Amino acid sequence: MSACHPHRSLAAMRFVTAVGIALTLTQHVQALEMPRAITLKLGDYAFSPDHIEVAAGTPLILTLTNTDALTPHNFTLRNTQAGLDVDADVGAGRSVVVEFTPRVAGTYRFHCNKKLPFLRSHLARGMEGTLTVMPVASK
């Protein structure tokens, strides 16, 4: 006894369509990475934190805060193969915001490129850190 119930078939088609739309939207939302905001302190010839880890494609918003009262600092992150080219001066006691999106997985060095006359450079004094860009997990 198999009766045809068109309302059940229509309901099943609507359910399948709704599930398909939901899965598609979920994939698109996951593909849009939320920005990651980090405050990076520059002072006493060091970065704090000195290591940043982020997934490839995640926009970074770095607030660079120079905690020294007299010494200017800088944040330099350059790697042409990875498309990274950030160079920001941060005056003593000031803050600067930089935004960029690392897209290529790898580990990249950032440093302060300042050097006062007759003194060792800030890099030679150990003012450097690393940005690790993790590959995007496959779905």
pLDDT along the chain (139 residues), means of 10: 57 60 49 85 97 97 97 96 95 98 97 92 97 86
Say what the pLDDT of residue 134 is: 96
pLDDT at residue 29 in the model: 45
For residue 38, how far is the Cα from the chain centroid? 9
Give a yes or no: residue 88 inside a domain: yes
Question: What is residue 137's predicted lDDT score, i.e. its pLDDT?
Answer: 77
| pLDDT at residue 63, as a whole number | 98
* pLDDT value for 7: 56
- Tell me the residue range of the domain where 119 lies: 36-134
Specify if 82 maps to a domain.
yes
CA 6, chain centre distance (Å): 52
Does residue 64 lie in a domain region? Answer: yes
What pLDDT shows up at residue 32? Answer: 60
Residue 49, domain member (yes or no): yes
Any domain includes 3: no
66, amino acid identity: N
Residue 40 is part of a domain; what is its CATH number? 2.60.40.420
Residue 110 resides in a domain = yes
Q: How many structural domains compose the chain?
A: 1
- pTM to 2 decimals? 0.75
- Does residue 111 contact residue 30 with C-beta atoms inside 8 Å? no
In the chain, the amino acid numbered 44 is D
Q: Is residue 26 part of a domain?
A: no
Whether residue 129 lies inside any domain: the answer is: yes
